[in-house]
Amino acid sequence: METTKHRYSDTELEDFRTLIENKLTAAKEEMAHLSTSLSQSDADGAFHTLEDGAATLEKETNHQMAGRQKKFIEQLEAALGRIANKTYGVCRTTGKLIQKERLMAVPHTTQSMEAKMRQN
């Protein structure tokens, strides 16, 4: 009789925690870099004309990237919370375990590929 696994083992969760913490560190470094770029472009703004479209586009792009980075950081932190309460890797739609390969590629995901495909 095959038993269905309902959650990842503590050892597997620790492996995921390490992966997520590394990604979180890198994401926070990138966010700091974006913030520095944004604050420099804000300070330099007094010296640019309003017609300087390239600078405006770059600033808008940096704002968008910073917004996405902030969301990514929040998702990674939420994943660490799921690890702490041992619900990490369980699909919020199907209740089944998300494949390890998917979690390694997208460690902040809360849905299995099956659920994601159904959603689309």
Q: What is the pTM of this model?
A: 0.82
Is 4 a domain residue?
no
Same domain, 35 and 79: yes
pLDDT on residue 1? 42
107 domain residue, yes or no = yes
- Beta-carbon contacts of 111 under 8 Å, excluding residues fewer than 6 positions away, are 91, 92, 93, 98, 119
CB 98 within 8 A of CB 112: yes
Q: Over the stretch 62-74, which tens digit does the pLDDT of each residue have?
A: 889 999 999 999 9
State whether 80 and 105 are in the same domain. Answer: no
Predicted pLDDT of residue 27: 97
Domains: count for the chain: 2
Q: For position 49, what pLDDT does the model report? A: 56
> Do 71 and 33 reside in the same domain of the chain?
yes
Q: Is residue 46 part of a domain?
A: yes
